[in-house]
Chain A
Amino acid sequence: MMSIAVFILFFILSFLLGSWTDTVMAKLRRESTLPLRIASGGCILIVTAMAACLIGGAAHLPANVTAIVALCALIVIAVSGIVMKKRTGSGLKVLWPHFDQKSAAMTAVCALITALQVYGAVSYAFENAHVLEGVRAAAKVFDSGRMFTADPMMLIVGLLSRITGVHPLNLIFGVLPATLITFYYVCYAAVIFEVTDGYKRFVSFVAVSLLNLFGYQSQVLIPATLLLSWSGTWVFIIHGLLGTASVILNACMKALPDKVRADENEINDELLEEWDMKNHRIINARNLAIALGVLAVALIGTIVVLNGKINSLYAATLNLQEDMNSRCAMYEFVGAEGKVEGYLLRGSDGTLSFIGGGSSANADDLADFIGKYGTSVTKWYVYGEDEESAGAMRTLTSNGTVDAEKVFVISADELTE
């Protein structure tokens, strides 16, 4: 229930705050779209909350006070945005002007893909604990009730958890996935709607979804991987803020004044003429671009091949040490005189057994040798009771260097060839 309530509240607030974007786009003589309004509104909401948390953290304010400050700021921004929008009279372009069967089907498929990812994020846990690296800041806010300087998104999570009484981990994995993952896909929709049209929007959305599902790279990029760190600051920046900002910057670019555009057209015509003349030379811009493209493909191919080889080598050596440690092994002990004086057996369960040892002259070397594998020998077999056969064993066990649970004497008289 809480996740539904947070979802509805977040998107309503985003819609209201996004009225500023309508105003800005109207000034740029461009029309705003619904995804852009919600995406930008959500970014404004999160940035405002971050700012309030960072200010609260710098001043070590209680969480409740910080929440009130953030709420007041959001209300002021939302109300002023709506007032500005009414004054400028900016419109809102409908998502799809003709919402036909094909558009409805594509929208439904996109919604289903998003919903499945949300379900996966809620139901499945990543085995690498480092995805939780930043959550300790939220846990600290939750436990102490005070803000401090830390990752801003985690401060927001901590603030929400303190207010609602829900543990930060329950919030991150139970309540926020539906809201945040859907929000980031709305941000992608805002970008895709701006740069493509028709069925290409659907293809682009599917490609972005596949990248999020298959795009985990390395430990370093965990903080930026959407389906692993949706509550993180880097995910907000890369998957939300940058995309939304790119739409507005593209709009600014397209809104260049007419005079500048006319001059630009004239320059473009001159450049085209020059380009046409240069086209007849062997070394010209087109041929250089082709050569560059071929070089880039060769470089990419080399990297892919090398990457494959490195991956296979890494996979082969991954468990090698652990595998070696878990097997039975035998080691040869060479005494002071350079002769083989005994054998150490290490079982797969880690227990040690020793055969031989020689005289007490070998005691120091034998202590170093056994010490590499442990300090306790379960069974020690010696070839006799005399100094020549058991001297080293007696020295090490009597001075406590090695702890022998059982010692067996193998009488040489009983050994026949």
Chain B
Amino acid sequence: MIRELFYKLHTAFRSFIGEGNAVVLFVAASLFILLICLSEKRRYRNMFTVMSPLSTIGLAVSEVIDRVAGAGYAKPVLKAAAVLFAACLSILAVTSSGKLVFSGELCEKAENEMHIPAYLVDAMNGIPEGDARVLVPYDRAPYFAAYSSRFVLSSDILKGSDESVIRTELDGIHPDMKKIAGIAHREGFEYVVLPVDIWPEVPITKCGYELVLENEGCRLYREVRDP
């Protein structure tokens, strides 16, 4: 039961904080600094430093290494080894505090100065000037919103069951284009942007949309209107 309790607490904690280690590191750093003050019987006059979490951790790291370096070792080699060990331990604690900000999994070389994938810029430029209602996958929507305010996006318009349907269908590799096209027609989305890595049973070109642009990352469709 206690294990289940810890599991629930940790899951809730992790879903909000993520890896959680940096917050743990901050708490540990604060406790360490407090223990230093208690052991030296002095009041810590820089208590407001805890307002800056990373500075608190940095301060604790420097205190750890300083105290290890200041300990009375007989031989210089032992002292050097102790300092190196303390430094390695600190680096390990700090670098395991979260995911790498710069890593192959999370980022890649920017294709342009805007940091938007080039294929999306092509698609956005393929939509003529003026306000446009666009149905776009939810993970691509922020790019459209950041590029121009003229796009009225499905992520802003669709709510409730429609939003759920679009999210579910576009998350899979066999989306039901009839459902997607039905929602798009009903809500007046003139343009639909779809990723290339999907294989729908029925293509959207059979549901009232025509292909306007295709590149290596996405396809842009426009609603077919009667002349």
In the complex, how many residues of chain A place their beta carbon closer than 8 angstroms to a beta carbon of chain B? 91
Assess whether B185 is interfacial by the CB under 8 Å rule. no
CA distance A107 to B26 in the complex (A): 26
Q: Are A374 and B174 in contact (CB under 8 A)?
A: yes
Q: Are A195 and B114 in contact (CB under 8 A)?
A: no
Q: Are B145 and A200 in contact (CB under 8 A)?
A: no
Q: Mark A98-126, 1 if CB is under 8 A from B, else 0.
A: 00000000000000000000001011111
A207/B62 contact (C-beta < 8 A), A124-B102, A306-B7 known: yes
Assess whether B55 is interfacial by the CB under 8 Å rule. yes
CA distance A215 to B18 in the complex (A): 10
Please give the distance in Å from A145's CB to the nearest CB on chain B.
11
Assess whether A345 is interfacial by the CB under 8 Å rule. no
Q: Are B21 and A307 in contact (CB under 8 A)?
A: yes
Please give the distance in Å from B26's CB to the nearest CB on chain A.
10
Contact of B19 among A140, A144, A203, A218 (CB under 8 A): A218
Assess whether B84 is interfacial by the CB under 8 Å rule. no
Assess whether A272 is interfacial by the CB under 8 Å rule. yes
Q: Which of A195-228 contact B (CB under 8 A)?
A: 195-196, 200-201, 203-208, 210-221, 225, 227-228
CA distance A334 to B15 in the complex (A): 42
In the complex, how many residues of chain B place their beta carbon closer than 8 angstroms to a beta carbon of chain A? 79
Please give the distance in Å from A317's CB to the nearest CB on chain B.
14
Q: Are A307 and B20 in contact (CB under 8 A)?
A: yes
Say what secondary structure dominates the interface of chain A: helix
Assess whether B201 is interfacial by the CB under 8 Å rule. yes
A196/B62 contact (C-beta < 8 A), A214-B94, A243-B52, A253-B47 known: yes
Q: Which of A18-26, A129-137, A383-391 binds B?
A: A129-137
Nearest B residue to A321 via CB reads B172
Q: Are B145 and A169 in contact (CB under 8 A)?
A: no
Q: Which residues of A contact B106 (CB under 8 A)?
A: 126-128, 216
Q: Are A293 and B35 in contact (CB under 8 A)?
A: yes
Nearest A residue to B61 via CB reads A207
Q: Which residues of A contact B53 (CB under 8 A)?
A: 238
Residue of B50, B97, B146, B202 with highest tally of chain A CB at under 10 A? B146
Q: Which residues of B contact A129 (CB under 8 A)?
A: 139-143
Assess whether B196 is interfacial by the CB under 8 Å rule. no
Q: Are B115 and A310 in contact (CB under 8 A)?
A: no
Q: Are A127 and B62 in contact (CB under 8 A)?
A: no
Q: What is B's interface to A at a CB cutoff of 8 Å? A: 6-7, 10-11, 13-22, 24, 27-28, 31, 35, 38, 41, 43, 45-55, 57-59, 61-63, 65-66, 90-91, 94-102, 106-111, 113-116, 139-143, 145-150, 172-174, 199, 201-202
Ranked 3 nearest A-B pairs via Cβ: A218-B18, A217-B18, A204-B58
A sample of 21 inter-chain contacts (CB < 8 A) reads: A125-B109, A128-B106, A135-B145, A143-B150, A169-B113, A192-B58, A203-B58, A203-B62, A214-B94, A214-B97, A216-B98, A218-B14, A239-B54, A245-B48, A253-B47, A293-B31, A325-B172, A349-B199, A374-B201, A375-B202, A376-B202
